[in-house]
Structure 1
Amino acid sequence: MTVTDAPGAAASGDPTPGVRIDEHAGAVLAEHAAWNEEHRRLSEHSLSALRDSGALRLLVPERVGGDELTLADMVANVREAALYDGAAAWVLMVLVGHSWMLGSMSEDLQDEVYGADLDTIVPGSLAPVGSATECEGGWLVDGRWPFTSGAVWGDWFLLGSQVLEPGERPRLIHVVMPRSDIEVDDNWYAIGLRGTGSCDVTAEQAFVPTHRMLDSGELLGARSPWSARHRTSLYHTPVLPGLAVHVAATALGLARAGLDDAADRFGVQDDRYMGTAKSRRPGLHMRLAEANAEVRSAEMLIDDTIGLLRRAAEGDDSKALRAHAKYQGSYAIELCRRALDRVTTAAGGRAVFDGSRLQQAFRDVTMASQHQVADLDTVGEAYGRTRLGMDPGPHPL
C-alpha cells in the first residue's frame, strides 16, 4: 500500500532525465542496507551501485566531464535512494553536495580532483574547526573534523578551518586535502544514519597548496571568481540554503518510505486486546492523512525553494531571499520528522525492532534533523526578521 503518491514524484525506474537511481541500483542499496547499519559504513556494493548509476556525477562541473545538472536532479536522486536505504542516500547527498561546492574552487583543483576519476569520493566537514597557518606556497593545517560521512571511502576531503591571527577575528577558509594526509577515527556510533560512516577525521601539519584553498565567504556566499566560469549558473547558488535542500531531499525520501511501511503495517495488524483490525481505527486514518499532507507539503516547499535558489543564482539575490530559502528547506526537514513521529507513535510494539523500515526511517530522519541547517530556532529568527523588514542578523546565510 502506498500512501505518499504525489504528482511529479519519481518512482523506481522513472525515466525522467537526471534520475540515475533506477530499480537495479535501488535493489542493490536495499539488499545491503542491513549490512551498512551493522557495520556503520556503506558496503563496497552500495558505493558501487551509487558510482555505477552515475549519480555521483550529477553536480560535477561539465568542464571536467561531469553532468552539471540541477538541484532538482539532486533532490530526485537522493529522494529515490532514501526509499531503499537512508544511509546510502545520505552519503550520496553529501558527496554530490561537495562536488557542487568544488565547482566554486580553482580550476587547477577541479582538474586535480576529477582528472583521473569523475566518480572520485569527496567527503568532508564544513564546520571551521581546523586550524591553518600560512606558509610558503600555501597552508599548514591541523585539526579534528566530526561528521565526515563516507570517510572510509574518501579520496579527497573538503574541510573547514580557521586562520588564527592575533588580535583579529579568525579568517575562515575551506581546504581540500588528499586521503594520504588524513586519518579516520572509527568513532561513528549514533542513533540514526548508522550506515553512513560519519566518523571524525584528523590531520597534523598537512601542507595544502594555495590552489586547494578558498575563503569561506567566497565559497559559502557564492562569490567565488571561479563560479562564473561554467556553462550554467549552478555554482552561483548560495551554499547554506542549498544545503538545507540537500538534507531535506534525504528526509523526504525517508518519510515516504516510512509512511508506506506504516500503511502496510496498519493494513494487516490486529489489535490484540480489542480483537479488531487496526485499519478500522479512525485515529489511524487521521494520523496517516495528516502525515501524508505534511510530506506533500515538504515536497512542495522543496520545489519552491529550488525556485528561490535559481533566482539567487541568476542574480536576484539578497539576504532576505536566502533567509526565506534556508527556512523553507529547514522546515521541510521538520515536516518529514513530524510525519514519521506521528505514525511511529501509533505503530505499536512490533514496529520498534531492528529490521523495521519504519523504525529505521524514524531514527534516520531524527538524526538528519539534527544537522546545523535544520536548526529552526536560528534560521526561523533570521527569516522572521526579514519578514518585518529587518536585517536577518548574524546567522550564516
Structure 2
Amino acid sequence: MTASLDIAPPAASLPRATVRSNVTVPLQFPDGFRTTAEVFTFHGLADGKEHLLLALGSWEQSLLAPDGEPGVAPLVRLHSECMTGDVFGSERCDCGPQLREAVEEIAAVGGFLLYLRQEGRGIGLYSKLDAYALQDNGLDTYEANLALGHGEDERDYSAGVQMLQAIGATRIRLLSNNPDKATQLSALGMDITVPALRGSGFDTEPPSPATLISLVGALLPRLRERASETEELRRLPESTMTDLRQAGVFRLLAPRGVGGYGMGVETYAEVVRQLARGCASIAWTAGHLMEHVWMLARWPKEVQDEVFALGRVPLAAATGAPVGVATKVPGGYSISGHWSFASGVMHSEWALLAVDCDGVRLQALVPVAALELMDAWHTAGLRGTGSNDLRADHLFVPDYRVMEWGHLSASDNPGSLLHPDPTLHILMATLLNLVAPSTALGAAEHALELFQAQLMVRKVKNTTEVRQADSVLAQARFSEAFGLVATARLHWEEAVRILAASIRRSGTERSGTATAGTEPTDTERSRYRLSLALSGQAAEAAVRLIVAGSGGSAHRLSHPLQRIQRDVNVLLNHPTLSFDPIVEQAGRGLLGLGFTVRSF
C-alpha cells in the first residue's frame, strides 16, 4: 500500500516517545569530511524499530528560533536506511551520497538527520534485492515493488515525528524532494517548511538581516579554526565555502527576483565585518563574491537568465588590472589579456574581465573554464584569498556577454530596469570600496579580543606581575588599542550611514516622479571615502599597537596575531584604502573643486 495520509495515525493518537540514551559520535566519510553527531535512541516508538536521530551542528540553538522567523528552524532530513548504498557504496542508488550531503548541509546550520530502519522504501532488504532483479528485466522501482506484492512506497514516518517531538522540535525545515514526507509530517502535527530548491541554499522566504548576521556569527569558531588551513591552501577550504553557502551569504545582495535576499548595504558591510572577525582572507573573498553577484544582476535579462538559472548563485571573479584587448568579430568579440588580482577565482564559475576596444572600455563575461588560470598569488598577507591571475589569447565572447563599462557601472544599468532593488542604482565602485575597510575593522576587533585574553593570563618575564593585565603599561596600551578600534568602528559606521542614506533617497525619488537616479553629491562621496580611509588607518594602528605589546610569541606562525597584522598590512595597500590619493580627492570634493579621478 502506498504511504499516504490514510496510513498515518492522527497526531493526537501518536504515543509519546522518550529519549532512551544519547552519545557523542565522531563521523568521517570516505571523502574525508568530518563532523560530530550526538546520537539519540528512544523508548516507545510506534513501530518498535531501532531508529536513530543524529543531532548535528548548532542544533540546540536552532530549536530556540522564534516562531515565524524564516530560515532558522532546525534543518531535518528523514533518511531511510540503505545498506547497499550507505555501507557498500552501491551505484544502483544515490542514497550514500545523499546521506553524506545531508549530514554536511545540516551540520552547517544546525538540525537533525533521522536514520530510519525502513530499508527499500519499507519493504525490507531481501525484498529490495528481489526488486533489483526485476529492475534488471526492465521494471522501474515502483513497478518492481508492485510485482512483489508490495506498495510503491510502504514507509511510515510516525516514528520520525515521535523522535522530533521527544527532542523538542515542533517546527522544522524539511530537506527532501519527496512530497509524501511533507504530507505525512504535516498530517502528524509537525509544522514544516520545505526549501524551494533542494541544495539551492535558500528557502521560500529569505531570513531577516538580523538572522543572517546571527548565522554568520555562529560560523566564527569554525572559521578561526580553519584560518591556518586557509592560508596554507591559498584559497578558501571547501568546508568554508559550504558553510557560507548554507548560511546564505552569497545571496545577500542578489535581487529577490533571481532567488536572492535583496538586502541592503548595511547588512552587506556587517556580514563582511563579522567574517573578518573569523579570518580576513575569508571576509575578503566572500565580500567580493557577494559583490560580484550584485554586479551580474546589473546585466541584461539574457545574461541573468543564463547565470541565475534554476535559482543558482553565480559566483564570479572580477578584475580590471591591467585592461585586456578586445577586437570586434562577427557575432561577438575576440579578447586577449593577462589579468591580475582575480579575488575569488578559485571558487568561481564566471569571470568579469575589463577589456578595451578602440578606446572604449568594456566588460566581458567569460566562463572561468575557458581561461588559463595562473598560480601567481604568493603574498605576505591575505594569502587565503587565492587572488590568482587569468589569461586569454584570442578568446571568442558572444555579443550578449560584452557590455560597455559605462553602461553597467551607471545608476541606470540594464539590471536596474529589471529589479526594484535600490542598491542596483548605486555606482559600480561603491561596494568595492566597502570590502577592505570592513575587513580591516573586523580583523582589528578580533586582534583586540586576542590581546585582552592574553593580558588576563600571560606572565611577563622579568617582572613581578602575576599576569600582564596587572602592568600599568599594559593597561594603558590596551585602553589605547581599544580606543583606536572604537575610532575605526565609528568612522566605518559613519561611512555606511552616508551610503545607506544616499540609496534611500534615490529609492524614494524613483518611486515618485523622478525617472533618473540621484547619484551621491561630491560632498557625500568625499565624506564616504574619507571615513572609510580613516577607519582603515585606525584599524591598522590598533593592530600594530597590539602586536607590539604581545611579545615575541605573537610572531610565531602559529599565532593568529601575526597573520592578522600581515593581512591588515596588505589591506592598507589596496587602492580602496590608499590614504594619500583618498585624502587628496576627498579634500577637493569637500572644497567644491571637483574630482580629478573619475572613479573616486
Alignment-derived partner of residue 369 in structure 1:
572
Instruction: Give the aligned residue type for 1:369.
Output: L
Distance 1:254 1:103 in 2: 29
Distance 1:379 1:309 in 2: 17
- 1:300-379 equivalences under 5 Å are 300-313=490-503, 314=506, 315=518, 317-379=520-582
Q: Deviations over 1:102-153 (max 9, x none)?
A: 2222222122111145333212213352111122222211111111122222
Alignment-derived partner of residue 176 in structure 1:
365
Distance 2:598 2:239 in 1: 40
Distance 1:228 1:291 in 2: 46
Alignment-derived partner of residue 186 in structure 1:
375
Alignment-derived partner of residue 9 in structure 1:
none
Instruction: Give the aligned residue type for 1:334.
Output: Q
Q: Rg: which structure is higher?
A: 2
Q: 2:588 aligns with which of 364, 372, 385?
A: 385
Distance 1:331 1:222 in 2: 27
The reply on whether 1:84 has 2:274 as its aligned counterpart is: no
Alignment-derived partner of residue 409 in structure 2:
220
Distance 1:305 1:180 in 2: 38
Instruction: Give the aligned residue type for 1:88.
Output: I
Q: 2:229 aligns with which of 19, 29, 35?
A: 35
- 1:16-165 equivalences under 5 Å are 16-19=210-213, 21-22=215-216, 24-163=218-357, 165=358
SS at match of 2:380: coil
Q: Deviations over 1:9-63 (max 9, x none)?
A: xxxx998244264455334323322211112111111111111111011011222
Q: Deviations over 1:184-213 (max 9, x none)?
A: 111211111111111111122222222222
- 1:148-297 equivalences under 5 Å are 148-163=342-357, 165=358, 170-276=359-465, 277-297=467-487
Q: 2:488 aligns with which of 298, 304, 315?
A: 298
Question: Is the CA contact 2:451–2:550 (under 8 Å) kept in the aligned structure 1?
Answer: yes
Quote the offset at 1:308 in angstroms. 2.1
Cα 1:85–1:72 change in 2 (3 A) is same
Please, what TM-score do these two structures have when normalized by structure 2?
Answer: 0.60
Quote the offset at 1:354 in angstroms. 1.3
Question: Is the CA contact 2:335–2:395 (under 8 Å) kept in the aligned structure 1?
Answer: yes
Quote the offset at 1:67 in angstroms. 0.9
Quote the offset at 1:236 in angstroms. 1.2
SS at match of 2:340: strand
Distance 1:281 1:141 in 2: 62
Instruction: Give the aligned residue type for 1:47.
Output: M
Q: Deviations over 1:167-196 (max 9, x none)?
A: xxx322222111221121112111111111
Please, what TM-score do these two structures have when normalized by structure 1?
Answer: 0.89
Distance 1:27 1:271 in 2: 28
The count of corresponding residues between Structure 1 and Structure 2 is: 380
Question: Is the CA contact 1:59–1:97 (under 8 Å) kept in the aligned structure 2?
Answer: yes
Structure 1 stretch displaced more, 220-229 or 319-328: 220-229
Distance 2:427 2:472 in 1: 45
Question: Is the CA contact 1:42–1:195 (under 8 Å) kept in the aligned structure 2?
Answer: yes
Distance 1:126 1:152 in 2: 17
SS at match of 2:525: helix
Question: Is the CA contact 2:324–2:339 (under 8 Å) kept in the aligned structure 1?
Answer: yes
Q: Deviations over 1:82-118 (max 9, x none)?
A: 2222221111111011112222222221221111453
Percent of aligned pairs with the same residue?
Answer: 28
Question: Is the CA contact 2:314–2:349 (under 8 Å) kept in the aligned structure 1?
Answer: yes
Question: Is the CA contact 2:408–2:414 (under 8 Å) kept in the aligned structure 1?
Answer: no
Q: Which has the higher contact order (CA 8 A, sep 6+)?
A: 1
Distance 1:181 1:15 in 2: 36
Quote the offset at 1:267 in angstroms. 2.0
Question: Is the CA contact 1:284–1:346 (under 8 Å) kept in the aligned structure 2?
Answer: yes
Quote the offset at 1:320 in angstroms. 3.2
Distance 1:131 1:49 in 2: 38
Quote the offset at 1:316 in angstroms. 5.3
SS at match of 1:126: strand
Instruction: Give the aligned residue type for 2:483.
Output: A
Distance 2:310 2:477 in 1: 51
Name structure 1 gaps, 5 residues minimum: 1-12
Cα 1:195–1:206 change in 2 (3 A) is same
Question: Is the CA contact 2:217–2:274 (under 8 Å) kept in the aligned structure 1?
Answer: no
Structure 1 stretch displaced more, 106-115 or 274-283: 274-283
Distance 2:351 2:482 in 1: 38
Instruction: Give the aligned residue type for 2:386.
Output: G
